[in-house]
Amino acid sequence: MSNKMLLKKLGEEYMEEKEKIKIFDDKKNLIGVATRSDVHRVGYWHEVFQYYY
């Protein structure tokens, strides 16, 4: 893996730990915030949308 790719990966991992995302229950009620990594680890519903093309 190149240094550039490694730095990008490390940056993405850092952002996952720092970024706070609103989380919701299954009835769309706001229940709090969590880090991106916790959102995906636990499986919370959240409001973020990413589009790659």
What is d(CA 14, CA 50) in angstroms, rounded to the nearest whole number? Answer: 18
Q: Following DSSP, what letter does each residue of 3-51 receive, concatenated?
A: HHHHHHHHHHHHHHHH-EEEEE-TTS-EEEEEEHHHHHHHT-EE-----
Partners of 34 in the β-ladder: 21
| Model pLDDT, residue 10 | 60
Alpha-carbon distance 21 to 34, whole Å? Answer: 6
Is pLDDT of 53 > 60? yes
Structure tokens belonging to residue 27: 């009835």
The string of pLDDT tens digits covering residues 2-42 is 766 655 666 666 555 678 899 999 999 999 999 888 888 99
